[in-house]
Structure 1
Amino acid sequence: MARDGGQVIRRLDSRVVYRNPWMTVREDRIERPDGSSGIYGVVEKPDFALVIPAEKGGFHMVEEYRYPIGRRTWNFPQGSLPGGVDCDPELLARTELAEETGLRAGRLEHLGFLHCSHGTSGQGFNVFLATDLVPGPHAREHEEQDMRQRWFSREEFWELVDAGRITDDSTVAAYALLLRHEGAFG
């Protein structure tokens, strides 16, 4: 039994089936608590930072074409360092904000840590609220060359969700952490 009361799945062996500069995919042979065996596919990616750049009752967001879903969508600025390099989450948040939007945060507040796709990956993300924003030039990576940026009101945020223009689960989850931070949830 695990400390949290859940059953433990034991890894018997593991092999890398795919690797590129952004991710590794491995297949683990496992043994379940009842002794039966199986396999588990795991995507390994580094944790990332997500930043909510807030001012004037709304947020700055970025939009880009997302190849896996075949369309453009809006989300809060987010990312990790190239090559899976680890760094301080606050430094990563400041870097991603400046790279993608050109904004610099006078104040950065940590709102929490969440996991995304925890059924297939251990990747998680730190959520930060950025305020006291100062504009500057962006420095987008080559892969972000089609990225656009725009400010949205809170009402427009939910209109984008309703219209299917925000489908990023990390963005919606981060917004929930912001609402909790603001006292909207008990």
Structure 2
Amino acid sequence: MEDLPIEENPWKVVSGKEVYDNPWINVTAYEVINPSGGNGIYGKVHFKNRAIGVVAMDENNQLFLVGQYRFPLERYSWELPEGGGPLNEAALSAAKRELLEETGLVANNWQEFLTMDLSNSVTDEQATVFLATGLSQKEAAPEPTEKLQIIRKSFSQVFDLVMAGKITDSITVAAILKLKAMGYS
């Protein structure tokens, strides 16, 4: 596979000031000289965790979806089991924990198949997505702030929901489309 060309950073930072910080994110306001040479501003949201997604697929190509109300969106969302893992924690370790917490599932087989930048115009948040198979059911232990529903749908049903715009979560959409391109159905 051919590499893509890479250019040097054309942005110059004049100053930066932290304007918000909590256990999950940090927001910095920058004064910059933009690529065209003009003065400007830029706000950056730094994520203190990596986003984790898990496609939990059983032996019949059934996927587990998690439903929950998403505060920033002000609406309900169906998505893969997802969560965050500290940047200094192995992504696989975080994925195993999130899958167990949200669904009670444990997987024997794990395959990392997708990494992506989630909103690279304003954040540095990265996501890692795994395919988990060889599933067995244990007891779920969601975080106290989570009120979750779990459903199981065939891969083709989930793909159809993505294509119909009924599932819009970025990690879920990207993972399902990539798996489809890899030959899953």
Q: Deviations over 1:47-102 (max 9, x none)?
A: 12111001212210100001112111100011114xx5530011011111111100
1:53-132 equivalence runs, <5 A: 53-55=56-58, 56-81=60-85, 84=86, 86-132=88-134
**What amino acid sits opposite 1:30 in the alignment?**
V
State the TM-score, normalizing by the size of structure 2: 0.88
Q: Deviations over 1:126-153 (max 9, x none)?
A: 1100000010001111111x11111011
What's the secondary structure of 1:142's corresponding residue?
A: coil
Which of the numbers 127, 140, 156 marks the counterpart of 1:138? 140
Q: Which residue of 2 aligns with 1:50?
A: 53
Aligned length: 179
Tell me, in whole angstroms, the C-alpha distance in 1 between the residues paired with 2:51 and 2:144: 18
Q: Structure 1 residue 167 and structure 2 residue 168: aligned?
A: yes
More strand, by proportion? 2
Tell me, in whole angstroms, the C-alpha distance in 2 between the residues paired with 1:137 and 1:160: 28
Tell me, in whole angstroms, the C-alpha distance in 2 between the residues paired with 1:162 and 1:105: 27
Could you say what the CA RMSD is over the residues aligned between the two structures, in angstroms?
2.0
Percent pairwise identity: 30
- Runs of 4+ residues over 6 Å off in structure 1: none
State the TM-score, normalizing by the size of structure 1: 0.88
Tell me, in whole angstroms, the C-alpha distance in 2 between the residues paired with 1:66 and 1:111: 25
Equivalent residues of 1:111, 1:181 under 8 A apart: no
Which runs of 5 or more residues in structure 1 are unaligned?
none
Tell me, in whole angstroms, the C-alpha distance in 2 between the residues paired with 1:162 and 1:139: 31
Deviation at 1:158? 3.5
What's the secondary structure of 1:166's corresponding residue?
A: coil
Q: Which residue of 2 aligns with 1:12?
A: 14
**What amino acid sits opposite 1:29 in the alignment?**
E
Q: Which residue of 1 aligns with 2:38?
A: 36
Tell me, in whole angstroms, the C-alpha distance in 2 between the residues paired with 1:47 and 1:157: 24
Which runs of 5 or more residues in structure 2 are unaligned?
none
Tell me, in whole angstroms, the C-alpha distance in 2 between the residues paired with 1:47 and 1:12: 28
